[in-house]
Amino acid sequence: MPKTKPTSKTSAAAAPHWQLQTAKARFSEVFRRTRSEGPQYVTRQGKEAVVILPAEEFERLAGRTRQPRSLVRFFAESPLAGAAVDLERKPDYGREIKL
């Protein structure tokens, strides 16, 4: 069984915590529990070091499913795509300096 912390108000404290060496030795179980129960915390020297997430949850959190595949598509789908932007500017001929 994974080492768990005392119950508190945060979901992180209620989630299973695995010591690093236990997680390495029982990786198949950590993997299975991640898929069925959700995030699994791995601790190192008594401190939370990493969280193992299902791939779908990571993709959702990272926002990767919403990102366009190319920069051209990104600009084409931008809410500002039809906005009129004035790019005119006065030519800059430099400035006079005394040497």
The reported pTM is 0.53
Q: Is 64 exposed, middle or buried (0-12, 13-18, 19+ CB in 10 A)?
A: exposed
Name residue 17's beta-bridge partners: 3, 41
Summarised one tens digit per residue, pLDDT across range 24-67 is 999 999 999 999 999 999 999 999 999 999 999 998 888 765 66
Domains of the chain, with CATH numbers?
11-76 (3.40.1620.10)
Q: Which two tokens stand for residue 8?
A: 């508190």
Q: Is residue 4 scored above 70 in pLDDT?
A: no
